[in-house]
Amino acid sequence: MRAVVQRVREARIEVAGDVISEMGPGLLALVGVGGNDGLEQAIEMARKLVHLRIFDDEDGRMNRSVLDVQGTLGVVSQFTLYGETSKGRRPSYGGAAGAEAARPLIEQVAQAARELSVPVVMGRFQADMQVYLLNDGPVTLWVDTEASK
């Protein structure tokens, strides 16, 4: 499982011009599910996101998590994170999980984060979304559950 994570001051997600989710300060995570991912990776991704220390402490060091600062986590499904671009000019998405497998795992990431006491807002699975955000820093990171093994 992969995620591009941005520390945000605020974010909102729209579908067909309607706001479906919005949040104040926290993390916005664009999350991709790989073909070999399962429940273990979803729970691990949630744990990593909730405990990622990228918010400033009283000394200005990135030493606090979204949990510590009582922020919100935004979770948006992003299968294109598994786009393979090493050959040709058109990405191949063969490494991404199919929708039937990915949907419950994206929902599990959100549920596991909620169980760790972080408020969660979500995008709409398989929808054409417009994601607006104010990146704080800017701080943007790549998080991968495979990197921890």
Q: Cite the active site residues.
A: 78-80
In total, the chain counts a number of residues equal to: 149
* Contact yes or no for 29/135 (Cβ under 8 A): no
Cα separation, 106 vs 1, in Å, equals 10
Instruction: Please report which helix (H) or strand (E) contains residue 24, including its range.
Output: none
Those residues whose C-beta lies under 8 Å from the C-beta of residue 101, and which sit 6 or more positions away, are 33, 35, 37
> Cα separations (Å) of 66 from 6, 53, 115?
11, 8, 14
Cα 13–chain centre separation: 13
Cα separation, 141 vs 6, in Å, equals 7
Q: 3-class DSSP state for residue 48?
A: helix
